Amino acid sequence: MVTQIETKTLYDQDFCLWAETMANLLKTRQLDRLDYENLIEEIEDMSGSQKDALESNLEVLLMHLLKWRYQADKRTNSWRCSIVEHRKRLHKAFRKSPSLKRYFDDVIDEVYNDAREMAAIETMLDLQIFPETNPFSKAEILDRTFFAD
């Protein structure tokens, strides 16, 4: 029998076993034995991880759209694949968690600025070549056929 104190120790020693134990305690409604503190933290972290992944995928997508538009002579299938792949990841995230669409709207400008900086670094072009404000609409960013030509 695992006590609440032991589950807190288990969290630091073996996360996978801790998670399985928490799931079993929930399934069997043994709520008095749950490690509430760490469980709450992990649930909150799950939301943060999804938001971080959305930002990361959006940044890579925007960076490649910028490179596609402003370095047309250096276009590669790798860039095209990256654009397609990161759009797929965004659409999948929206299917799994529709509330992320609102988050997308909230962070798009901030993420664009990061993507702009990364595009300048990768292309070795002057930052000023890339527009200060996002030149792509939300529809274009998510459109599976749009390639910023």
pLDDT higher than 80, residue 3? no
* Per-residue pLDDT reduced to its tens digit, 15-70: 999 999 999 999 999 999 999 999 999 998 888 999 999 999 999 999 999 999 99
pLDDT higher than 90, residue 113? yes
Tokens linked to 33? 């034995």
Q: Rounded to two decimals, what is the model's pTM?
A: 0.81
What is the mean predicted confidence (pLDDT) over 133-145?
Answer: 96
Which amino acid belongs to residue 62?
Answer: L
Q: What's the pLDDT score for residue 8?
A: 75
User: Contact, 52 vs 97, CB < 8 A?
Assistant: no
The runs of H, that is alpha helices, within the chain are 4-13, 15-27, 36-70, 77-96, 100-123, 138-142
* Per-residue pLDDT reduced to its tens digit, 62-108: 999 999 999 999 999 999 999 999 999 999 999 999 999 999 999 99
Say how many CA atoms lie within 13 Å of 39 toward its Cβ: 18
- Give the closest residue to 93 by CA, choosing from 59, 60, 62, 55: 55
Tokens linked to 137? 């609409």
